[in-house]
Every structure is written in C-alpha cells, then in structure tokens.
Structure 1
Amino acid sequence: MGSVWCSISSVGLLINFLLLVFPLTLAEEPKVIRDCKSDLTCHADRMKSFMNFSTDPCDNFYEYACGNHRQHKLYQYSRMNYFGDSAYILDDMARELLDRMDLAESLNVSRELRIAQRFYNTCLEADLHPFSAADPNYLNLIRSIGGFPAVDGAAWNASNFNWVNMSAHLSNYGARGLIHEEISSSTRKKPYLSLAELGFDYIGQAENSNQKNSTRVRKQNQKIMRTYLRSFNLTGNRISQVIDGVLEFWRDVEGTIIDKNIYDLSENFDISSYFKIAWNLDEGEMSHNTNFEKLDKVCARHPEAVANYLAMQLLYAFDANLQDIKYQKDYCAATMRSSMWPLFKKLFLADTFSDKKSLELSEIVQEVRSSWRKLVEKVDWLDSDTRQKALLEESSFPTLIGSREYTLLTDRLVQEILHMEVTDGNYAATNMNLLRLKVDIHRFSTRLSTERSSDTRTQEGMFSMNTNLTIFPGNLHPPAYHHSWPHSLKFGTLGFFIGQQLSNILIWQWQHLDLVFKDHNECLANTFSKHLKPKFDRQLSTLFDTGGLRQAFEAYRSHRKQILEHPEQEMPGLDLLPEQLFFLGFTQMSCYEHNTEWGRRKKFKVLSALSNSEDFIQAFNCPVESGMRPAEKTCHLW
C-alpha cells in the first residue's frame, strides 16, 4: 500500500484533472489573474510573462518556459501538499460566486451560500497572523479530548489519557494523530487503519521516514513545536524539555517499529473506540495492523510526550500558517472553498458548463484514447495476450462529462453545509466547526459513494473512478484548458492529463511487466540525472509523464490531419509553431515556485519527460549534447 502518510491510494484507478493556476503578476500584493474570456492576446501575454527568452529552449526548456515565473508573487499562505498549487483559481472563482445569490436561489442553495458568506467575513475579520495557539477555544478542545501536559502541568492526569481516543478526535478535525485511516473499494464503509508518519509538515513527514537523523527535518519540526509552546508563555527550559520528550518518543517509535507497512490482522489490540469516536460505528473489528500493539507499548513509556505531540498536531491543523497578514484574504477563500467544495462545484457547474464545451472535450478525450490504442498496438514489449487485454480494458471505459450520478451526490453533500455553525466574531470556534464539516463531508461522500456504483466515488479536488474516465467541468480552466485556445495548446495541456491518467489506469494492471518498467525508469533517470543533477531523486521520472506526453502529441497530430482545411490558430505575439506551442503549454502547467520541494520535483520531472521526447527534440531541432538532448538515445516506452 506504500507510505501511510499518502492518502491517495487508488492512484492507478483515477482520472484527475488538476487545475493549475497561472502565477500572479508582480505587485505589492498578489493579484488573481482574471478570466481572459476569448481574448487570445490576453492569454498569450500571460504565457509570455512567465518566459525567459534569453534562454535557448534546447538548453533548458523549463527555464525558457518558466524562467520569469519566480518574479511573480505566489500565494504564500498554503502549506505544500499533494496537489501543489492546483486549486488557486478555484478559490478565486468561489470568492466571485459568493455574490451570486441569484444563482444560489435558482438552485435552492441560498441558505448554504449565506453560511459560506458568514464564514468568509468572520475569517477576514480575524487576527490570523501570528496564529493564536493559546486561544481558549483551542485549549478547551484539547483538554476535552486528552489534555496538554506541557500547559496544564500537574493538573494533567496520565491515567485518563488514551492515545487511540485522542488520535480519533484529531481525525475529526483533519489533524494527523498516530493513526492513519484509509478507505477503498475493498474496505467499503469503514477505513483501514495503519500507523501515521511522525512529524508536522508534508515534506518533513516524507523525509522523516527515510532520514531519521535529518538535521533539516528535525529543525523544522522543532521550530513548529517551539512556536506553539511559546504562545503559552512557557520558560525556555520547559519548552526544551517538552520538545526533547517528543523527539525521544519519535526515536522510540522508529527504533521499536521497523516496518510500518505490516498488514497482518491483530486480535489482541482493541481499536473499537477509534471507530466509535471518528466514524460513529459500534463495530470495531475492521482491519488494522499488528504494529498498534507495539505502538501502545511505546506510548505507555511516553504518555506525556504523546499527549503534547497530539495537542500540537491539532494546533497545526488550525494554524493558517500565514507568512504575512496580506495573504489572509487568499487563505480565507481557499479554506472556504476547500471545505464547502460541493456548494461551489454546484454553483460553478450551473454557471459555466455548456453543450459546446462538452462536445469539444469529448473529441479531445477520444483522440487521446485512439492514440493510446495505436501506440499499444505497435509496441514490441507487450505480449499478444496482454495487448488484447489492455485494448479490451480500455474500450470498456466510458467517458463521463458532467456525470449525472456525480451531480446527485453533490446535491446530497451540499445539504451537509446546513449543519455548519458560524459564530460571528469568533473565528477560532468557527474554524473548528468548519474543519469538522470538511471531514464530515469527506467521510460522508466516501461512505455514500461506495454504496453507489464505483464510478461515482469522489472526494474534494479529485475523482477516483474504477472503470471510467471522467472530466468535471469545474477543472477546465487555464493553464489546463480554455475553449478559445489553439488545438495544439489544448492537447499539450488537457490532452496530456488525459493521456497521463489513461496510462496510469492501465499500466498498473500490467504488474507482471514490472521489469520492463523498472528498466525504463532507470534509463530515464540515468540519462537525465547525469546531465543536470546527479544527486537528485532518481525516481522522479515516471511512465505516466512520458507516456501521457507521447499520447497527447500523437492525438494532436491525428486531429490536425482531420482538420487540414482549417489553419491552426496562433497565440498572438508568440512566434512558435503549433508543435512548439504544444510543449510550451505542457511545461507552463508546472511553473511552480522553485524554492519549494514540490516545485523542484515538478521541474525535474518535466525536464526528464521532455529530454526523452523525440517529438520535442524534433519540434525545437535540439542537437545532441545540448541541455535538452544529452544523448543520441532517448528513453521511452511508446
């Protein structure tokens, strides 16, 4: 099942069109780039503003396409997560939809929209920077679910503390306790429970599991804990004692539990209270692993440290983590939209989706699917039986655009917002209620969708489909798609997403070919890492990026042959051939802040895919031993 901190386990069975927003213009404060409507000059100007024309595209195409991106101010409030910078334009759209009471009334969701408005206003009026960790609302909650010995001292009673129960309570607010829950089609209505990774931030958790003594990770975790503990006016010595206790607990866990991914069932450890607190289920005999018994013994040796750690994890979930107060407006919009996503999906669907757009999307999907089939029919590493099974499997996937069943599910989820209580003038209390709502919606949607057919399983920001390809119209915005763009740009962006995830769905079913895939990834890593960054993660190159890019390009070629009587549209001011524009669009979807871990990984994944694309090399006529063509030979499956 892979690392337990990653909540997306069904990666091989999903179509997920991530919405990536164009970066913001350079200004004193970040400004959201508005919709250019059908003005190609406006879209072209945006694309040009990110480019560094002094860089030869054959030397470093990422620098050429995104070199000026670092001069644009990004939203700084958000912690890095799996989706990176993918939701910003949805946040801006949600902010605009707040004023559409007319639309809400026509859809019978006006009460829900008023709740969203009240939360947004309460959030804007709050003092979120710096974070008020000592707010009585947060402290009272912590005391009610397990306590905070660092703050309460002798008043805290270890005999009343239960790490399972406190972890369950944390999960109700989206906070990371010591238990990670995961639900899939096999576990149905109840989650599979396993051990959570230790640590606070996303990258820290990943590295903490691989580099136990990493100085950078240790310092980052210590900084977070020290910031919260200072809010309670503890002495420096006391703060050091608390942090040392937490770190000692972590070391004991890592030394006692060598392999967290053990899935043998245990009948000797009672986990039923977790299901009761988190899922309101009386039956607790659901699958969990034997490591809980080991963890229970470790927690018994460090009860005070465990309670302190869990208390600070809850504070971390409530913390807006703003680098500056000027980002508060963006944070409030993001928090509102991501927590009340069914409401804003419904409003947006009614406001923007059209039959014309649906028809074009269907055409793009079918072109990419057709190119995938042609490529599968030609490759020599597939045996005949596997080839036929793959083709049969692909042909069975329906394409759902604006799925009716998904719409029905969304309608039901919107009603959950009515349970949200907003306390005007009290952001902490409202914040707690909102995070609880977000978790409830996620759990409710997961449980409800598993009761329906497999093609309606959903969660915020993604759609996980077992047997179909789904395009949800709310994700169809720049830089992934715009109806006015030239076809080459649409196929380089949206077409790539389709091809990438189609490869994702089917390659995972070819596990007996793992040696072929291993050799391919090794070839990609060797070719690229030797030329640019030998010490960089060798696992960055994936089958899905290279495969998706090839499929999308072949689909564009096929599409061009069918519409030869119509000249390809150009982007004004961009002196690029259609094939070159294809790769520019693909790359600019990944213009991230380079100083983030996510940004660095994205950059090198893109460069790896391009430097091994014969289509890219021909489009820009890159010579051998140039930056983007380090060797004569390229590595590709297709």
Structure 2
Amino acid sequence: MKKYMNESMDPCEDFYEFACGNWKKYHSIPADRTSYDTFEMLRENLDVVLRNLLSEPIDEEENYLLNSTLYNKTTKAAVKAKFFYKSCMNEERLKQRAEKPLIKLLNELGGWPIIQPDWDDTNFDLEKLMADLKLFNNDILITEWIGPDIINSKNYIIQIDQTTLGLPGRSYFLDASYSKYLDAYKAFILSVATILGAPMTEAVQDVNDLITFETKLANIMIPSENRRNVTDLYLKTSIGALRNYFPQFDWVHYFSIILGKEVDLEEPVACYCMDYLYKLFDILKHTPPRTITNYLVWRFVRHRTNNLDNRFLMAKQRFYYVLFGREQSPPRWQFCVSQVNSNMGMALGSLFVKKYFDENSKNDASTLEMTKRLQEAFRQILKENKWLGDHTKDYARKKIDKMNLKIGYPDFLLNIDELGKKYYDVDAHPDYFFENTLSILRHLTKIEQMKIGRLFDQYGNLQQWWKEESIYNFHQRAKCMIDQYNSYIIPDVDTYMDGFITQGENIADNGGLKQAFKAYEMWLRNNPGADETLPGINLTGRQLFFLNFAQVWCGKQRIDTVKSRLKVAVHSPGIFRVIGTLSNSEDFARVYNCPLDSAMNPSEKCSL
C-alpha cells in the first residue's frame, strides 16, 4: 500500500493522487492489454491458476470415449472444458484446417455475398437468417431473450429490444471525429473477406454499402441517456400484435425457429423498442438483400475470427490497435483460458473450487457476520434517511429482509451429475475448436430459450412502491450527482465525463462506500481492542479503510480505450470513482480532518 502512495500530496486536496500517485512508477500497461489496474493484476494471477487446472491430464477413460467424429461421449463438464481448452491451444490443427470450417458454415447459412460475387438473392429469407444466427447466440438488428416480465415476474416471457453495433457506440458512425476508427473497422471487414477469397474490387463496394447500412442503424438507435426509465420503454404485447404492427416481418417464423417449436399468436412479448422497430423496417425496405445479408453475416463472422487460424487473429489485432491502442494479442494460453472461462465458466469453476476452495469457508462465521453487518448497516442508513417517506422506507425494509446471501459458490459445482446436466448437449473434441465453440453457442441459446414460462419468485415485480415525494427527492439528488460527475475532465483526452450514463454506478459507489464504512464502524464498536493499524504507514484503521478503497482503483488506460468508453461505459474512470465518491463522504472528511471547502470536502455534497 505504502509504495503506491504519494505521501507528498495532501489527501484533502486529491485523494486519488495521495493513494495512487506512485502506482504508475511500478506498473505500465502490458502490450497485450488496453488497460491495467488492480483487477487486471488479480486476473493475471487467476489465469495462471486456471491454465494449470485446464492443463492437468485427462483420465485415460475419458480419452477412450473420444470417437472418430467431432463428438465425445463424456458427461463430465470439467472434462469437456479441458477438451475445449486443448482444442483452442492446438494451433497446428487450426492452421491445417484454415478457413474451411467457417466456409462450410457460411454455405449452410446461405452464403456470404461479399465473398460470392454471383450470390443470388432469390432465396433470401431475412427472418430465417436472423433466427439461424440467433441460434449461435448472436443478436443482430433485434436483441431477443427470455426473462421475467417486469410487471408480472412470476413468468418468463419473450423480450425484444434494439441491439448493439459493430463499434462501441453510435458516435463512431455519426461523429466525424471518430473517422479513424470507422476506417479501421472497414479495413478489418475487408481483411477478413479477402482472406476468405473475396475479390478486392467488388468487396470494397460491398463494405462501403455495409457501413452505410450500419450508419443508418446507428442513426435510429435511441441513445442510452434516453433509455434510463424502463417503464417508459416497456410495452406488453404479443406475437400476434407484433404481426399486426409490423406485417412486413414474419414474427411467427422468426420465433418458431429460435424457440424450436410452433409459437402461439397469443404468446406474450415485452417490447422495449417500438420506435426503433418502425424505423428499422423502413430502412430494411429500402436496402438490397445483398447488403442486409452482408451485414448480418459479417456481425456473425467477426466473432468467429477468434476460432480460426492466425491470419484472422492478426486482422483482428490490427483493428484493435487502432480501436483500443492494444499493441499485440495476448499469449495464446491466456486467450484460451479466457475462451473457456467465458463459455464454460461453471465447469471451469468446479475445477477451481475442488482444488482451491475450502468447503468450510463457504459457511465461515466471519464471512457470514460481515454480510449480516452490511445488511444491518443498510437498515441503519435507511432509518437515518431524511428524504424518503415512511411508506417508501417500509417497502425498502421489506426488500432488505427478502435478500438472499450468496457466498462462495453454488452447491451444484461439486455435484458431477448436476453439473453435467448443465452442459449435457455440449460436444467437445480436442481437434475441433471451431465446432466446439458453435456447440457451446447453440447450448447457451437453447438454455436461454428454455426459460420461457418458467415460474419466478413473487417479489420481483416492477411496481411503483415509491411515493411521489420520494421520487421527486430522489431525482433532485440524482441530478446533483449527474452534475457533479459531468464536471470532471478525463485526464489525457481533455473531455468531460458523462455523468448521466454513469449515474447508476456512481450512486452505487457512493451508497456502497457509506454502507461498508458503517458496517466497519459497527465491527469496531464490538471489537474495541482491535489494532487496525499497519507497520510503516502512519494512518489509523479508519483512514486505512478509505486508503484501501481508493487503491482498488489505481490503474491506467490507453487513450483510445478511454475514448471508446466515453459514451458507452456505465462506470466512471477509477480516478473519479475515488474523488467523486470520497468528496461526497462526511465520514471520509471527518476521518482525514479535511477542512470545509477543501477539494475533498466541499460544503455542497451529493447524497442519496
């Protein structure tokens, strides 16, 4: 802790510099990273542990179950995870197979016009193509998922919304100052297409048409700052009603493919994007099938470059260098660990828990005590609150009482049969990384769609349990925080933060710190003789509490990465997670004896 501190800085003037001022002297951003911070350091150590687990020998019996096709007969999820890792690490096999697995799949999907100048649109089927790509867990043009109805959460229903773009945000397509990123995006598409055999002249025109189409999509998407109030977006409708609203799209065909069954016209749908859909179908009406297909397939192909040979990874790296400033790709083993962790996290988690997690610690008395103190601290904060009405407080207390404590890991991770059921339809073979990934993607989509109609608990319904006065007070206080964070200028890019997009997480940071410190104070009262100081650091236990909070956020980002997150990231940069939160904290100001109206103790604070 001490070596990262800049003790020459007055903590009441800039606590981030006081806590993290020397951090950059000891750490630089690795060439294969877009940022580097405390979390990345922990992740590095964890990745090494996970690599060792995945590299452990597979039982001879499990190897014997491999057959001559793409599949294996094992039911053990952890073994499948090891096969998946092994297939990712088999670079020689990837080189041998080259683009063949992707070409085979593209042909099954109806082809990719950009690599087929003679592509015929006679059999173009928009709904089928979108649905087929969704089966591989790709949401393109429309995001579809199964989730609890926010008005009546006892049932899971179909939900649809506007989707994401191929670049981090709308600005990349609409703001001329982002032109270098758009040019790099075009070059990336063209590189992948030419590797797959696209003739250059025709491909350039196809890419230009594709970008024009995606720019139109960016233009009709509702910005995130206008989507904060979910009740304003929510419309409870049905498949039949959607068919009446948008008869140009065969919703029955689309949902039947995704759900794997014939759908009823009365099937409920929660729609969050009616205005977007009206504009989307107008764009589609005036866009040639070739361009639409090129775009849909590209959005799928882009992510499949991860599962092919080094030519595709190099094309991606050139793009990432411009987009994020990343100087090189991560080591292959680290990439493969990430692939397993993101796609088969529970299976990998079971290996970790068995080897490193003490089962008794799951029910450790001190851990349980800490979580219960946090709950009690929240109750105290609620009791002391002056701006919430009594009715709203009563409902908030009921929500606290219904909270479930989730500590350690779910029990099924240690149950081979139960865990195996989670991955029952996942096929894995050490020679077929591409097909293994497709199998997992199909599995993830299937699991998602099987949730439809599932019962949920009775306490998650969206209802207006806040009284109007409390709502008004909340918005006034939230506006204070929005204005506060809007005033911060991000170092290196000389650009103001977006306090609106980040308001939810800023509120959470402020409230979480207040709650944690109150819980710590409760512990100190019950342990009056505890020595909470550290040798070599002349700070009290309470002061160390805030120092530790701040040093969690020590780190740095590449400039292009900062720019990419400006209008899409819901978290503030680390420096303002420290300065913004602590400058609102009466506890911090008291513990560090900060004079009133010093930088870290303004007389006007934002509090929720």
> Please, what TM-score do these two structures have when normalized by structure 1?
0.71
Percent identity reads 22
Q: Which residue of 1 aligns with 2:145?
A: 182
Task: Please state how far the C-alpha of 1:58 moved relative to its aligned partner.
Answer: 3.4
Out of 257-266 and 161-170, give the one that drifted further.
257-266
| Number of the residue aligned with 2:466 | 510
Residue 304 (str. 1) matches residue 296 (str. 2) = no
Q: Which moved more, 1:553-562 or 1:424-433?
A: 424-433
Q: The residue matched to 1:319 in structure 2 has which SS? A: helix
The answer as to 2:556 corresponding to 1:590 is no
1:556 maps to 2:520: yes
Query: In structure 2, how many angstroms separate the alpha carbons of the residues matched to 1:244 and 1:377?
Result: 60
Give the aligned partner of residue 320 of structure 2. Answer: none
After superposition, the C-alpha distances for 1:276-296 in whole angstroms (9 at most, x for unaligned) are: 333313216442565546534
Cα separation, 2, equivalents of 1:215 and 1:550: 43
Q: Structure 1: which amino acid aligns with 2:541?
A: P
Q: Distance in 2 between matches of 1:523 and 1:55?
A: 28
Change (3 A) 1:274 1:572: farther
1:377 aligns with 2:341: no
CA separation in 1, counterparts of 2:487 and 2:217? 37
Take 1:218 and 1:132, find their aligned partners in 2: how far apart are those partners? Answer: 33
Query: Matches of residues 488-527 of structure 1 in structure 2 within 5 Å?
Result: 510=466, 512=468, 513-527=470-484
The residue type equivalent to 1:329 in the other structure is W
After TM superposition, the score normalised by the length of structure 2 is: 0.74
**Compared with structure 1, are the counterparts of its residues 390 and 258 closer, same or farther at alpha carbon in structure 2 (3 Å cutoff)?**
closer
Q: Which runs of 5+ in 1 are unaligned?
A: 1-46, 456-464, 468-504
- Conserved? CA contact 2:395–2:465, under 8 Å: no
CA distance in 2, matches of 1:580, 1:443: 49
Aligned to 2:81: 116
> Residues 144 and 110 (structure 1 numbering): CA distance in 2 closer, same or farther, change over 3 Å?
closer
Counterpart amino acid of 2:166? F
- The 5-angstrom pairing of residues 381-400 of structure 1 reads 381-400=387-406
| 2:90 paired with 1:144 | no
Q: Which residue of 2 aligns with 1:535?
A: 496
Out of 417, 422, 434, the residue aligned to residue 428 of structure 2 is 422
Distance in 2, Cα, partners of 1:633 & 1:163: 56
Match of 1:435 in 2: 441
**Residues 453, 191 of structure 1: CA spacing in aligned structure 2 closer, same or farther, 3 A cutoff?**
closer
SS of residue paired to 2:331: helix
The aligned runs of 1:332-371 (5 Å cut-off) are 332-351=336-355, 352-356=357-361, 358=363, 359-371=365-377
Does the CA-based 8 Å contact 1:135-1:428 persist in structure 2? no
Contact 1:167/1:177 (8 A) holds in 2: yes
349-358 or 370-379, larger mean C-alpha shift: 349-358
Whether contact under 8 Å (1:225, 1:243) holds in the other structure is: yes
Residues 142, 148 of structure 1: 8 Å contact kept? yes
- Whether the aligned pair in 2 keeps the contact of 1:151 and 1:232 (CA below 8 Å) is yes
Give distance in 2, aligned partners of 1:102 and 1:134: 27
3-state DSSP of counterpart to 2:546: helix
With over 3 angstroms needed to count, the CA separation of the structure-2 counterparts of 1:368 and 1:246, relative to structure 1, is: same
Asked if the contact 1:94–1:333 (Cα under 8 Å) also holds between the matched residues in 2, the reply is yes
Aligned partners of 2:132 and 2:536: how far apart in 1? 56
Q: Relative to 1, partners in 2 of residues 1:282 and 1:343: Cα closer, same or farther, differing over 3 Å?
A: same
Q: Any conservation in 1 of the 2:343–2:440 contact (CA below 8 Å)?
A: yes
AA of the residue aligned to 1:194: D
Which of these residues, 288, 303, 306, is aligned with residue 317 of structure 1? Answer: 303
Query: Structure 1 208/580 Cα, relative in aligned 2: closer, same or farther at 3 Å?
Result: same
Give per-residue Cα distances to partners, 1:450-483, cap 9 Å, x unaligned. 736549xxxxxxxxx949xxxxxxxxxxxxxxxx
For the 8 Å contact 1:146–1:162, the answer to whether it is kept is no
Match of 2:19 among 33, 44, 65: 65
Contact kept, 8 Å, 1:170 with 1:314, in 2: the verdict is yes
Contact 1:51 1:69 in 2 (8 A): yes
CA–CA separation in structure 2 for the residues paired with 1:296 and 1:344:
42
Counterparts of 1:384 and 1:622 in 2: how far apart (Å)? 34
Post-superposition offset of 1:531: 6.1
Tell me the CA shift for residue 177 of structure 1. 1.4
The aligned residue for residue 38 of structure 1 is none
Contact residue 112 and residue 297 of structure 2 kept, 8 A: yes
Structure 2 match to 1:502: none
Aligned residue in 1 for 2:66: none
Query: Given that residues 454 and 466 in structure 1 are in contact (C-alpha distance below 8 angstroms), is that contact kept between their aligned partners in structure 2?
Result: yes
Please name the residue that 1:616 is paired with: 588
| Conservation of the 8 A alpha-carbon contact between 1:146 and 1:307 | no
Task: Please state how far the C-alpha of 1:100 moved relative to its aligned partner.
Answer: 6.4
In structure 2, how many angstroms separate the alpha carbons of the residues matched to 1:343 and 1:298?
43
Counterpart contact for 1:48–1:574, Cα < 8 Å:
yes
Choose from 160, 171, 191 the match for 1:193: 160
1:172 aligns with 2:176: no
| Aligned AA (1:616) | F
Is this contact kept in 1: 2:12–2:594, CA < 8 A? Answer: yes
Question: Which residue in the other structure is 1:451 paired with?
Answer: 454
Contact 2:141 2:163 in 1 (8 A): yes
Residue in 1 that maps onto 2:607: 636
* Whole-angstrom distance in 2 between the partners of 1:230 and 1:249: 21
| CA positional deviation for 1:335 | 0.9
For residues 180 and 187 of structure 2, what CA distance do their matches in structure 1 show? Answer: 11
Q: Report the CA distance shift for 1:250/1:326 in structure 2 as closer, same or farther (over 3 A).
A: closer
Q: Distance in 1 between matches of 2:368 and 2:433?
A: 44
For the residue of structure 2 that corresponds to 1:381, the secondary structure is coil
1:276 corresponding residue in structure 2 = 256
Number of positions where the alignment pairs a residue of Structure 1 with one of Structure 2 = 528
Q: How far, CA to CA, are the matches of 1:573 and 1:338 in structure 2? A: 41
Following TM superposition, by how much is the alpha carbon of 1:133 offset from its aligned partner in structure 2, in angstroms?
12
Q: What is the 5 A alignment of 1:191-230?
A: 191-197=158-164, 199-201=165-167, 204-205=168-169, 207=171, 215=179, 218-219=182-183, 221-230=185-194
| Change over 3 Å in CA distance of 1:452–1:591 after alignment to 2 | farther
SS at match of 1:182: strand
Segment of structure 1 superposing worse, 65-74 or 239-248 = 65-74
Q: Which moved more, 1:254-263 or 1:296-305?
A: 254-263
| CA distance 1:623–1:419, change in 2 (3 Å) | same
Pair 1:135-2:99 in alignment: yes
Q: Given the superposition, is the C-alpha separation of residues 67 and 228 from structure 1 closer, same or farther in structure 2, using an over 3 Å criterion?
A: farther
Kept after mapping to 2: 8 A contact 1:174/1:439: yes
Letter in 2 for 1:282: E
Larger RCO, structures 1/2 (Cα 8 Å, 6+ apart):
2
Correspondence for 1:246 among 210, 222, 237: 210
Which amino acid is the alignment partner of residue 195 of structure 1? Q
1:291-338 deviation per Cα after TM superposition (whole angstroms, max 9, x unaligned) = 546534432423111111122211222233556355221110011122
Asked if 1:95 is matched to 2:51, the reply is yes
Q: 1:397: Cα distance to partner?
A: 2.8
Code of the residue aligned with 1:283 in structure 2: it is V
Question: Residues of 1 paired with 2:170 and 2:344: CA distance?
Answer: 28
Q: 1:400 Cα shift?
A: 4.2
Q: What stretches of structure 2 of length at least 5 have no aligned partner?
A: 62-73, 228-232, 307-315, 318-326
Pair 1:585–1:437, CA change in 2 (3 A): farther
Amino acid at match of 1:390: A
Whether the 8 Å CA contact 1:271–1:284 is kept in 2: the answer is no
**2:358, 2:460 → 1: CA distance?**
25
**Corresponding letter in the other structure for 2:89:** L
Change (3 A) 1:381 1:99: same
Q: Deviations over 1:375-415 (max 9, x none)?
A: 11122112222222222332233434468677699964533
RMSD (CA atoms): 4.1
Please tell me whether the aligned partners of residues 51 and 333 of structure 2 are also in contact (alpha carbons under 8 angstroms). Answer: no
Q: Secondary structure at the match of 2:441?
A: helix
User: 1:125 corresponds to which letter in structure 2?
Assistant: N
